[in-house]
Structure 1
Amino acid sequence: LDRIDQENFPLDLKYIYPDSAGAGVDVFVVDSGIFLEHEEFQGRQGKTIVEKTFCNNPADDNGHGTNVASLVGGKTLGVASNANIIGVKITGNDCPLTSQNIINGITYVMQQKANDPGRKIVLNLSATSTDSAVGDAASKAVEAGIHFVVGAGNRNLDACGFFPGKVETVVTVTASKITTNQQDWITDWCNWGKCVTLFAPGENVPVAGIGNPSEIKLESGTSLSAPHVSGAIALMLANGDFTPEQSKAELLRIASKDKIQGLKYRPTANVLLRVPSP
């Protein structure tokens, strides 16, 4: 959080964000569910719910969705701490991730938008697929006015090989890290390339865990970079009306430029998330 509210080092050890903090924006976390009892989700202005599950067990049994949700809007860990966090469970221990379940999750969010076209909706997805049908679903969601954010993937491959990250209208996020000497680098393991929209922190990120209601642990992955961006879009939408095309352009406009090192052999847009200032 401290990295994304200022352009340059040294870090000021603070995170400053617009007062509205994402109020009135619905961020759908299409993932493994959410551990609702975690302290990060207590006493927030926004609601935290798991609204739909495509698995037998609605609880977050592997922790991933909880990690992600805490970065979107957790009380202390979240980018947009007043946003509504709405879980849609598409995978879990009893429920392997399939392209069909990804599509089911996207379709569910589209139905919510169709039911109430005025809703400000951000869809945060961690999963990637080689199935182009996932890309088609994402493309339709953006056409319907949903702000769609996806992690680029963690295989050190060209992100253009995966859906929905390949879709031009979605926001595809890959992972930066902060080195001990306070520099931003591309992580060794993240996907890269021309299909990436921007970087956000994704290595050793503090997140809410499912071990107990106060557990906070360090995790890594582009699926932790993405919710930083979803939160940033929620901050924007709380303060104005943007189409998905406009929110993507605004992210790029306010982002920190040319801060990331290590891109020589993994050519990627040198753009690092920065949240809107108060």
Structure 2
Amino acid sequence: MTEGHTKRQEPNQFVNSIVEEINDIIIDNIDTYKNPEKLEAIIGNSLPLEKRGSNKVSSVVQEVASVNGVSVLVGYLSHGLDKKVKNVPGVRNVEPDRRLNLKHPYDEIKIKNKKFKRYDDFDYDDDDDDYRTDNNVDIEAIKEETGWDGVEIRNNTYLHLSLLSQGKYEEYLIERYDKNYYYPKSAGEGIDVFVLDADFNFNQSEYANVDEREVKCLGIFRNGTLTKADNYASPESPHGEIVSDAIGGLKHGVASKANIYGMAIEFDQVDDEITSISKISFIKTLEYIRKNIKMKPHKTVLNISLGQYFSVEEDAESINFIEENFKKFNEMGIVVVVASGNDKNPVRAEFDGKKYVSLPCASEHVICVGGIDNYENYIRAPFSNYGDEVDILAPGLAHLKYIDEDGSDHESVFIGTSFASPIVAGVAALIMSEHPEIEFNSTSMAAYLAENGLNDVIEDARGPNVFVNNGKKSLYLHPEIDYDDTFFTDGDNNYTDGEFYYTTFTTEEIATFYDYEEETSGIVNEEPSIEIGDLPNINNKAIYNYDDKNTEEISEYITKYVTEDVTEDVTEDVSVDIPGELSDKESDSDNE
């Protein structure tokens, strides 16, 4: 990498002079190459290499990107030439190229011996969906809670979606999991989501609503240069198609009205498990997108579900260069969402005594997403990378779809942070569509997601413990279950059997406790002594099922936070687990 030039020199002249000097070093040391014919292959013809003065632009050394006065040059050097090139005036560092990996999605997941009762294993008739219909849901209550202009409900849907629109589910409290996905009617409308990935084929039913949005492949990046293409079905991996479905598929996606623009990368190295591109290709691609792809400020999301570890020492300049590019995106008002990776390691790690950092996750100007094993009851997925750089957690297992080269549909559960990332990208699109008055970028969106997510509900998070939420945290009770021991009601006990219970605990309501075993009922506190906002992590909503095993906890909670006069100096240590994050329980995970 090079930097700087004198006031009398134009930047291009300065860079060209360095290119020529490095070219001369290569030619003078061609006998040090084990495979000198590779130089000819790089040039692309059989002409002999020439030194400066030939009036020919070097094909051996080329400028591929630049930002903030720093240029990236790429060249093919023999062992030992790196030190000579590094001594050229203006050269900041010489670094080896690396591979950025995109792991193939795991298919046909088998779930065995899970603690969490799977959402499709609940013992009610899937054909009896009357209680889930719009007629039995208090839409106005949801609108009041979320601030959404309108509410859409995707009935009886997939776990990776339904988890996004409710508080923490506790089986012993609620028993029946609510399989609905609730989301704003805008559904990401007017927001552009760009996806940098392996392949795209949007000619399928998941994108049938083309009258409401635009969905297309912009082209294929080959060595950092974009070639236009309507579709690009990679024979190696359907990764991009699956990622796009998580963002905005009609059936499987989070934001079904968001515009989706696929940007395919032609990966140049493939094996059975990993597809990869060179670090230089990634840098060139980022540069091209930033300078040439038209993106609307504060209305654009960019999802990148690939990455790799970089040596803190050997790749210092590349790390800085990539960071500067994402900083530019942030300044442009672009929300960049990336995957933390599936290496089971901390984002900042040490291997063989050397320090490494995973990019782009570790960038300060992106939203890095880790995955949870959402079939294992709110626990960080064992494959997910972790650490302080991971801003938020999302479902790491998702039921998604792609179409292969032959046009055949494939629908299954796929796992990986590659699919947690687009789920958050979709949620970001929902938020941006609902709040056009807010000028979001990566920094402000990360703060918004952290403030409005579910806090401290993920076991073994090993980093910021926030689970993504789209704005609705309330929980519904099922009408077929006897909730005689419901803890919070509206104070007047207006609910009757067969109704779909939706309880919202507000400052105007009174908490009422009913003990049906003793056939007594009484108002805990006839006049609320505090406002809800003064209670730690109340989130203005609660549904609680009373039973013997938590009698003492409930009594302590009532005594501490309802019957007594509580001030703003109330202790923050609340031990009782109440859905909707009533608890402020400390995570007992080990930080690494």
TM-score (norm 1): 0.89
CA contact 1:28–1:109 (8 Å) conserved in 2: no
Letter of the structure 2 residue corresponding to residue 202 of structure 1: G
Aligned to 2:216: 49
What is the number of equivalent residue pairs in this alignment?
271
CA contact 1:159–1:193 (8 Å) conserved in 2: yes
TM-score (norm 2): 0.43
Q: In the TM superposition, what is the alpha-carbon distance from 1:112 to its structure 2 partner?
A: 5.4
Relative to structure 1, the CA distance from residue 70 to residue 192 in structure 2 (aligned partners, 3 Å threshold; closer, same or farther) is same
Given the alignment of the two structures, is residue 178 of structure 1 paired with residue 374 of structure 2, yes or no? Answer: yes
Aligned equivalent of 2:251, options 56, 76, 79: 76
Aligned to 2:396: 202
Q: In the TM superposition, what is the alpha-carbon distance from 1:213 to its structure 2 partner?
A: 5.4
CA contact 1:135–1:163 (8 Å) conserved in 2: no
Alpha-carbon separation, structure 2, partners of 1:213 and 1:254: 39
Alpha-carbon separation, structure 1, partners of 2:300 and 2:204: 23
Given the alignment of the two structures, is residue 238 of structure 1 paired with residue 238 of structure 2, yes or no? Answer: no
Return 206-215 or 223-232, whichever deviates more.
206-215
Alpha-carbon separation, structure 1, partners of 2:207 and 2:181: 18
Letter of the structure 2 residue corresponding to residue 3 of structure 1: L
Letter of the structure 1 residue corresponding to residue 466 of structure 2: V
Alignment of 1:108-147 (within 5 A): 108-111=288-291, 115=294, 117-118=296-297, 120-129=299-308, 130=310, 131-132=318-319, 133-147=321-335
Alignment of 1:260-271 (within 5 A): 260-263=458-461, 267-271=462-466
Higher relative contact order (CA 8 A, sep 6+): 1
Runs of 4+ in 1 over 6 A off after TM superposition: none
CA contact 1:185–1:260 (8 Å) conserved in 2: yes
Alpha-carbon separation, structure 1, partners of 2:265 and 2:239: 11
CA contact 1:156–1:190 (8 Å) conserved in 2: yes
Given the alignment of the two structures, is residue 20 of structure 1 paired with residue 208 of structure 2, yes or no? Answer: no
Given the alignment of the two structures, is residue 33 of structure 1 paired with residue 199 of structure 2, yes or no? Answer: yes
CA contact 1:18–1:277 (8 Å) conserved in 2: no
Letter of the structure 1 residue corresponding to residue 387 of structure 2: G
Relative to structure 1, the CA distance from residue 109 to residue 275 in structure 2 (aligned partners, 3 Å threshold; closer, same or farther) is farther
Q: In the TM superposition, what is the alpha-carbon distance from 1:255 to its structure 2 partner?
A: 0.3
Q: In the TM superposition, what is the alpha-carbon distance from 1:66 to its structure 2 partner?
A: 0.4
Aligned to 2:28: none
- What SS does the aligned partner of 2:382 have? coil
For the aligned residues, what is the CA RMSD?
A: 2.3
Q: In the TM superposition, what is the alpha-carbon distance from 1:228 to its structure 2 partner?
A: 0.6
Letter of the structure 1 residue corresponding to residue 279 of structure 2: S
Identity %: 26
CA contact 1:18–1:276 (8 Å) conserved in 2: no
CA contact 1:122–1:149 (8 Å) conserved in 2: yes
- What SS does the aligned partner of 2:217 have? strand
- What SS does the aligned partner of 1:162 have? strand
Letter of the structure 2 residue corresponding to residue 179 of structure 1: Y
Alpha-carbon separation, structure 2, partners of 1:116 and 1:191: 30
Alpha-carbon separation, structure 2, partners of 1:12 and 1:236: 22
Gaps of 5+ in 2: 1-160, 170-175, 271-275, 311-317, 349-356, 474-592
- What SS does the aligned partner of 1:60 have? coil
Return 184-193 or 136-145, whichever deviates more.
136-145
Which of the two has higher C-alpha Rg?
Answer: 2
CA contact 2:200–2:240 (8 Å) conserved in 1: yes
Relative to structure 1, the CA distance from residue 116 to residue 156 in structure 2 (aligned partners, 3 Å threshold; closer, same or farther) is closer
Aligned equivalent of 1:59, options 229, 232, 235: 232
Relative to structure 1, the CA distance from residue 77 to residue 20 in structure 2 (aligned partners, 3 Å threshold; closer, same or farther) is same
Q: In the TM superposition, what is the alpha-carbon distance from 1:116 to its structure 2 partner?
A: 5.7
Given the alignment of the two structures, is residue 248 of structure 1 paired with residue 446 of structure 2, yes or no? Answer: yes
Alpha-carbon separation, structure 2, partners of 1:31 and 1:66: 9
Aligned to 2:362: 166
Relative to structure 1, the CA distance from residue 27 to residue 108 in structure 2 (aligned partners, 3 Å threshold; closer, same or farther) is farther
